[in-house]
Amino acid sequence: MTTEARFKLALREMMQSKPLSEINVTALCDKLSCHRQTFYYHYQDLYDLLASVYLNETVPGLDKAKDLSETLEALLEYAIKNFAFLRSTYQSAAADLADGFFYNKIITKMLSFYSPHTSSGMTKVSYRNVCRRFASNVSHEFGYWFVQPEMTPVKLERAMSHYLQAANDVLYPAFITLGKEEKKR
């Protein structure tokens, strides 16, 4: 395992039991029995390391998702399985990294679905705007629930399942309608 991979794994493990704000480079290096200079050779700070974690993070099942509903299900499963890690991120100064992670996964997958025939005849630019709005809304909703003090994985699943179903059934079609209206102007 590479040094970078060891740092990523150790940070994720530490974030399972404590908030990011209580983790420092010294504790991380002690866990790995390495020098601080080794850490700083690879990363500027803990946020740089965490950004690297999110940039390389995969969501199981996302690559096989055939539509928006399956995409959202895969993201919800990921969020539940990685609850402590995501919660620690959202409750820190690095919340934007988790938001960006969800946003990028959603918009990338949605854009892969584009075809003039399946996207209600919308232009790629109009569809891109729909995807941008939708991804932004859904990623912010994940963030909202993760910062709630009483949130648990079970409560997250319940709340986000309802929201994601409504987003798929109501929000997405509304954004499609908006995109078509904007095209007429």
Give the pair of three-digit tokens for residue 174: 């509304």
Q: Read off the pTM.
A: 0.92
What are the pLDDT digits (tens) for 33-82? 999 999 999 999 999 999 999 999 999 999 999 999 999 999 999 999 99
Q: Alpha helix locations (H) across 123-152?
A: 124-146
CA 158 → CA 86, 161, 162, 164, 178, distances in Å?
17, 5, 7, 10, 29
The more confidently predicted of residues 16 and 179 is 16
Rounded Cα–Cα distance for residues 24 and 41 (Å) = 16
What are the pLDDT digits (tens) for 96-136? 999 999 999 999 999 998 776 566 667 888 889 999 999 99
**CB neighbours of residue 139 within 10 Å:** 21
- pLDDT (0 to 100) of residue 126: 86
The more confidently predicted of residues 181 and 163 is 163
What are the pLDDT digits (tens) for 129-178? 999 999 999 999 999 999 999 999 999 999 999 999 999 999 999 998 88
Going along the chain from its start, the domains and CATH numbers come out as 3-52 (1.10.10), 60-184 (no CATH)
